Structure 1
């Protein structure tokens, strides 16, 4: 397990993560990319704890995602299964688990202040924190995608499932975009990755 973790995590985080996995009897599965989530946690019918994390994540996003899922396990164990999945108990657990990792030996110094701000009140997904998502993306391999906030108003773009949209006005934090085929309006986070068509 340790040698597998070394391929996906920052070097100085491997041992403490390995210990967390071992102490909590986690069955970790590294899986192909899922567009709708980076990872998930499930308590199996036999009582085992299964966590899956997407294999395509950069090592910093992988670490945050894995700790996010371990926080679900520990929050449910400590506070009971009736708590909200991303409620106060989970936020407290996630923040406490992350604190020992928010160090320059693990994260690049430019990323540390963004991570520290995020963990004052962690979101259900690191993708809903646009500043963190953009900072983490800078460690991904280059691709042909743009963020919604980068493309001009009125531009036509495609999302991962092939649907096309026209970018509309900004509404507080998100952008109203019209689906070309249906004419329906959808709201997009500013850091949604899209393929610019025209």
Structure 2
């Protein structure tokens, strides 16, 4: 297991992650990319636990996703199945499990202040924390995608599902964008990744 995880995790995070996987009796599956999620946790009727994490994530996002999913397992086991999936019990569990990893032997110094801020009140997805998401993206392989916030107002762009939109004005945090086929207005996070068609 160690040799496999070395491909996906920062080196100093491997052994502590193996301990968490063994302690919580997790069956870990590394799977092909899913657009809608980085990872997921399931408890089966026989009581076994499976966590899946996307194989295409950079090492830092992979680590955060793995700990995010282990936090689901631990929160449900400690507080019962009726808690909210991303409620206070999960947040506290995620904070506690991540704390040993938020140090310069695991994460680059540039990410540490952003992680410290994010983990004061972790969200259901690190993608909704635009500053952290953009900083993590620096460690991904380069792509031809742009962030919404980088595009000029009026730009036309395509989503991963093929739908085409026109960028509108920024509201408090998100951008209003019009779906070209229907004229419906949707709100986009500033760090949503899109393919620019024209500006």
TM-score, normalising length: structure 2: 0.99
Match of 2:103, SS? coil
Structure 1, residues 15-40: CA drift from partner, whole Å, max 9, x if none? 00001001110000000000000000
Output the aligned Cα RMSD.
0.5
Q: Which runs of 4+ in 1 moved over 3 A?
A: none
Structure 2: gaps spanning 5 or more residues: none
Match of 1:197, SS? strand
**How do residues 39-188 of structure 1 correspond to structure 2 at under 5 angstroms?**
39-188=39-188
Shift of 1:46: 1.3
Match of 2:140, SS? coil
- State how far apart, in whole Å, the 2-side matches of 1:47 and 1:76 are: 12
- State how far apart, in whole Å, the 2-side matches of 1:58 and 1:19 are: 21
Shift of 1:95: 0.3
- State how far apart, in whole Å, the 2-side matches of 1:88 and 1:172 are: 26
- State how far apart, in whole Å, the 2-side matches of 1:91 and 1:127 are: 16
Count of residue pairs brought into register by the alignment: 198
Structure 1: gaps spanning 5 or more residues: none
Match of 2:98, SS? helix
TM-score, normalising length: structure 1: 0.99
